[in-house]
Structures are given as structure tokens and as C-alpha cells.
């Protein structure tokens, strides 16, 4: 198995090298070679994952005489299946999609190099391999986003992505340097073993090594996973080829969740880092979801949707649900990757004919026509509030009876409840002829979804972290003061419930007071989010100011 594990990242490197050396002789055959090699890589990844599911122990595979280490464990094998699986689909799609583009062979060479860098990153067992592969992913992505050499806009966005990634790379390098200086080894297994045996022993400036490196690794994850204030590169990177946008979901934009999981032994020792991770993820999830609603470009809307999902993934890590974040990472990768690949055909069909039947859903979502006859608002309010929370709690209670003893689990249940309640509320406002059938269908679908999410989430938990003591430690570290936790949860619940009840009552009684004032407020808010909170304007002004300052310093010092 060690030979197969070594072959996994080496195969795409060899294919890229062969295609580069014999590009003229191979011509369009570079695509066939790349696709076939990708299929072999996927089979190898599946075999390695099966070996881990069978109970194979975690092993370190050495690349040379201490030069690098690959870590064969459940996390690396799961990431390998995700990377090779989606990259195989992307390659097959690209064979025809990129056929008329300049640099056909160059595109597939870059794809192979990206997959190799991602596989190295996912299986890195030492700090050197992790830092180098982490950096290479950003470099290769720069060339993929700016693939169209004649597009100044693509080059600009590629450069913006590269600069943002350098922030995360710098944090990653600092974390690696501190860990090596402290423990005298590059091996992650040895570092984590020492941290588990003697946590909080080593300190710098009054902070423990775990707190410092945890904060630095979190910054690296924020930059890579497009968290708020470091997110602007993601929606604008959609200007690259569509296959690149899909490829970004195989471990590039969602690498933040992987990185936090890889350094889980460090985060299990630092409460402050997990609290910050939760807060940043929460803000990112909300802002990304809001910005998605105002986009008129399908790829940019998908980009902001990804930002929201990455925020939720990071938030899951912040509450201690590390393994759930990996499940989210994989499910979102396959789902959003296929959405990007189908975006082009959807646009092409819509230009000819929208093809959307003008039924209940179309009337409500597009024409904004709500139902004339409504169900009793009090009954619907009770259903909206009570039914989702009952389904969620029962599903988790059947899987793990002690699930509610963890604060992180309660927070995730709370967000699940809000989502389910919002779904029922939207249904209440729709114009439908058979209301009971629609409600029944929604409840059945919601139940199946929650049950599947719960079962798979717990399965990932036991697979990735078989040590029950360590699992409890992660949740314990993410815990905040009980009084504050209960107070915030109760207040938030009361606000949401009051908002729902007020909305039902207002719509039922057709309250129209201050309509013009509400419209003005809504337009102002829409202008704010349509300009993306003016963040790009602020960043552009900062860039111009720095250039002007540099020019003045240049004149002052008389540099030529």
C-alpha cells in the first residue's frame, strides 16, 4: 500500500512532465493521456480509502532521507478520493470544452500539476511538504485563472488571488517555523504527539505555542477558504475557464476545513482560536448568502454561494464539529463542481428559451406573486417553529443520545432549525392549489435529509477521529461559558420567533403603513449589498494610495 500511496501524487507529475516534453508530438492526445491517468489515480485513491475503512493503521510514508513525509490516514485518503474524483470529471468535461482555446495542451498540464499539488497537500506528513504544497496550489491556480493570456481582466483577478493567498502562505510559514523551532522536528506526527503529552508547556510572549500557531493556521485557512475580508478574490476568479471554477472545489477553496482538521491536535488546546474561527465563519456564511442574492451573473452567484458554504464549514470547525466540516467539504465539492460544469449549458438554453414552466414555484420566485388565500397564520407559525426542531432533535437523538450535551451540536441544531423553519415559511407564502400535499412533501424531504446528514456526519466522526476522548476534547475546547451560551441562544430564538409571528400577522392583515419608507430602506440596503459592501472600492482606494505613497517616496529619495 505504501507504493500505491507514493504513486498517487507522482502519477500526475509524471503525466505533466511527459505532456510538456512531447507536447508537439502528442498534439491533442495530451488530453487523452491526462484523462486516463486521472482515472488510474481515482482507482488508487478508492483502494487506499477502502484499506483505511478496513482498519489499516496510520502510517508515515517517507519520500526520501528525511526530505518529506506522506501521511496515510483516513483524512488524507478521503481528500484523495475527492480530488481525483472531481478532477477526473473536470478533465473529461475539458476535452471538448477547451478544444477551441489557445494553449490546449498547456491547460491539461496545469490541471495535472494542480492535482499533484493538492494530493501532496492532502497527504503531507511534515511541515516542509505542507508549506511547499500549500504554496504551489496558489501558484498553479494563478496560471489557471489567468489562462487567457489576452484578457487583462483575468490577469488582474489572477494576481489578486495570488496576493490574497500570500497572506495565508505567510501565516503558514510562520506557524511551521515556530513549531520546528519549538519541537525540533518537521514531522507532524511527532509534533502532535508532544503536544498531546505536554500541552501548554512552551510559551512565547505569554502565549502558548498552541495559541500562536492555532491563530496563524486559522489565518491561512481564512485566506484559502475566502472568509470575510479575505473573500474578494473568490467571486472575481470566476472569470477563468469554467473547468477551473469547478476544480476549485476539490481542495482549493475548501482547503480551510482540511487544514483545521489536519492541525486538530493544536486547535484542541486553544479555546480562543476556535471561538474566533466560529465568529469569522458565521459572519462569512451570512454575508456570502446575502451577496449571492444580488448577482446577475450565474458564475459569480455560485462564487458567493461557495463563500457562504465555506463560512458555514469553518463555523462547524469553530464549534468543534471537525469531522462534520470534512463531510460538508466533500458534499459541497461534488455538488458545486457539477453546478459550475452545467452553468454554461444552462446559460445557452436560457438564451434560446427559458424552459421554465410557469407553475407555482415559478410564479412565486420569478413573478413574486404570493398566495391570495392563506392558511391560518397561528397554525402555520406553530408548524413552522415546532416541526423542524422536532425532526432535527429526534433524528439526532436516535443516533446519539448524548448529542445535546455538546454546545457545538446545539448550535448546529439551531441553524438547522432556522433553515427548516425558513423553508416552511416560504411555502406558506407560495400560491399553491394543493397546500397539504406540498407541506407533506417538504416535511418528508426534510426528514430524509436530516436523517442522512446525521447518520453520515456521525460516521465521519468515528472514522476520522476514532479516539472518543479526543473527540470529546475538541467539543470541550469549543465550549463557552454556559450562562452566556444560554442567554445568547434564548435571545436569538425569541427574536426569530417574534419576527416570524410579526410577519405572519402583518401579511394576514395586509398592513401597509409606511410602505414608501420601507421601500426606501430596502432600496438602500439593496444598493449596499449590490456594491458588495463597498469592500472592493475600499481595497482599490488603498492600492492607489499605496502606489501614490511609493511614488512620493521615490521622488523624495530621488531613486531612479
Q: What is the pLDDT of residues 380-418, one digit of tens each?
A: 667 777 777 777 777 767 766 666 666 776 777 777 777
> Cell 489557471 belongs to which residue?
144
Least confident of 40-54, 379-393, 522-536: 379-393
Query: Residues 502-518: pLDDT tens digits?
Result: 766 665 555 555 555 56
The mean per-residue pLDDT over the stretch 360-381 comes to: 56
Q: How far is residue 174 from each of residues 69, 133, 211, 266, 294, measured CA to CA in Å? A: 20, 15, 13, 15, 38
Look at the block and give the residue holding cell 489562462. 147
CA–CA distance from 477 to each of 407, 415, 435, 472 (Å)? 10, 21, 46, 9
Mean confidence (pLDDT) of the chain = 83
Grid coordinates representing 121 are: 497537500
CB 90 within 8 Å of CB 34 = no
Q: What is the average pLDDT across 424-431?
A: 66
Cα–Cα distance measured from residue 299 to residue 305, given in angstroms and rounded to the nearest whole number: 10
pTM of the full structure: 0.86
Annotated domain spans of the chain: 1-122, 126-355, 366-511, 517-560
Per-residue pLDDT, 12: 94
Higher pLDDT, 112 or 362: 112
- Does 2 or 115 have the greater pLDDT score? 115
Q: Which range, 80-89, 91-100, 458-467, has the best average confidence (pLDDT)? A: 80-89
CA 65 to chain centre: 35
Q: Give the DSSP letter of residue 187.
A: B
| Distance in angstroms (rounded) separating the CA atoms of residues 8 and 61 | 12
pLDDT-derived band at 559, boundaries 50, 70, 90? low
Amino acid at each position: 500500500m505504501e507504493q500505491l500511496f507514493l504513486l498517487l501524487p507522482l502519477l500526475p507529475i509524471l503525466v505533466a512532465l511527459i505532456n510538456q516534453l512531447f507536447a508537439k508530438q502528442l498534439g491533442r492526445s495530451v488530453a487523452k493521456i491526462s484523462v486516463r491517468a486521472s482515472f488510474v489515480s481515482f482507482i488508487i485513491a478508492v483502494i487506499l480509502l477502502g484499506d483505511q475503512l478496513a482498519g489499516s493503521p496510520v502510517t508515515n510514508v517517507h519520500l526520501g532521507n528525511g526530505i518529506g513525509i506522506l501521511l496515510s490516514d483516513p483524512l488524507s485518503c478521503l481528500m484523495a478520493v475527492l480530488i481525483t474524483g472531481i478532477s477526473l470529471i473536470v478533465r473529461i468535461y475539458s476535452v471538448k470544452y477547451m478544444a477551441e482555446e489557445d494553449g490546449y495542451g498547456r491547460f491539461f498540464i496545469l490541471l495535472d500539476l494542480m492535482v499533484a499539488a493538492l494530493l501532496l497537500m492532502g497527504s503531507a506528513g511534515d511541515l516542509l511538504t505542507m508549506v511547499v504544497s500549500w504554496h504551489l496550489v496558489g501558484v498553479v491556480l494563478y496560471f489557471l485563472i489567468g489562462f487567457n493570456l489576452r484578457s487583462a481582466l483575468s490577469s488582474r483577478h489572477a494576481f489578486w488571488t495570488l496576493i490574497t493567498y500570500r497572506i495565508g502562505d505567510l501565516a503558514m510559514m510562520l506557524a511551521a517555523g515556530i513549531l520546528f523551532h519549538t519541537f525540533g522536528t518537521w514531522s507532524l506526527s511527532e509534533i502532535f504527539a508532544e503536544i498531546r503529552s505536554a500541552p501548554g508547556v512552551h510559551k512565547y510572549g505569554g502565549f502558548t505555542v498552541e495559541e500562536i500557531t492555532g491563530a496563524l493556521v486559522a489565518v491561512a485557512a481564512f485566506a484559502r477558504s475566502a472568509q470575510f475580508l479575505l473573500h474578494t478574490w473568490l467571486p472575481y476568479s470566476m472569470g477563468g475557464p469554467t473547468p477551473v471554477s469547478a476544480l476549485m472545489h476539490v481542495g482549493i477553496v475548501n482547503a480551510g476545513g482540511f487544514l483545521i482538521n489536519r492541525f486538530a491536535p493544536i486547535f484542541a488546546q486553544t479555546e480562543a482560536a476556535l471561538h474566533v474561527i466560529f465568529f469569522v465563519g458565521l459572519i462569512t456564511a451570512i454575508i456570502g448568502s446575502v451577496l449571492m442574492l444580488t448577482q446577475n451573473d450565474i458564475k459569480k452567484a455560485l462564487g458567493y454561494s461557495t463563500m457562504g458554504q465555506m463560512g458555514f464549514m469553518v463555523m462547524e470547525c469553530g464549534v468543534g464539529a471537525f469531522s462534520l466540516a470534512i463531510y460538508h467539504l466533500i458534499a459541497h465539492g461534488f455538488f458545486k463542481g457539477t453546478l459550475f460544469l452545467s452553468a454554461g449549458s444552462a446559460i445557452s438554453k436560457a438564451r434560446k428559451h427559458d424552459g421554465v414552466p410557469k407553475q407555482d414555484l415559478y410564479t412565486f420566485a420569478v413573478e413574486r406573486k404570493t398566495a391570495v388565500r392563506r392558511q391560518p397564520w397561528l397554525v402555520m407559525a406553530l408548524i413552522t417553529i415546532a416541526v423542524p426542531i422536532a425532526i432535527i432533535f429526534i433524528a439526532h437523538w436516535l443516533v446519539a443520545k448524548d448529542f445535546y450535551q455538546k454546545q457545538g451540536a446545539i448550535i448546529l441544531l439551531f441553524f438547522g432549525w432556522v433553515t427548516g423553519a425558513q423553508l416552511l415559511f416560504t411555502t406558506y407564502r407560495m400560491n399553491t392549489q394543493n397546500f397539504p400535499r406540498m407541506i407533506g412533501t417538504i416535511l418528508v424531504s426534510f426528514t430524509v435529509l436530516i436523517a442522512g446528514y446525521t447518520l453520515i456526519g456521525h460516521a465521519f466522526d468515528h472514522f476520522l477521529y476514532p479516539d472518543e476522548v479526543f473527540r470529546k476534547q475538541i467539543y470541550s475546547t469549543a465550549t463557552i461559558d454556559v450562562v452566556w451560551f444560554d442567554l445568547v441562544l434564548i435571545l436569538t430564538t425569541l427574536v426569530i420567533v417574534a419576527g416570524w409571528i410579526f410577519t405572519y400577522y402583518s401579511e394576514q392583515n395586509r398592513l401597509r403603513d409606511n410602505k414608501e419608507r420601507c421601500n426606501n430602506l430596502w432600496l438602500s440596503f439593496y444598493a449596499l449589498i449590490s456594491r458588495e459592501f463597498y469592500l472592493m472600492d475600499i481595497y482599490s482606494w488603498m492600492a492607489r494610495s499605496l502606489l501614490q505613497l511609493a511614488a512620493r517616496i521615490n521622488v523624495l529619495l530621488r531613486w531612479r
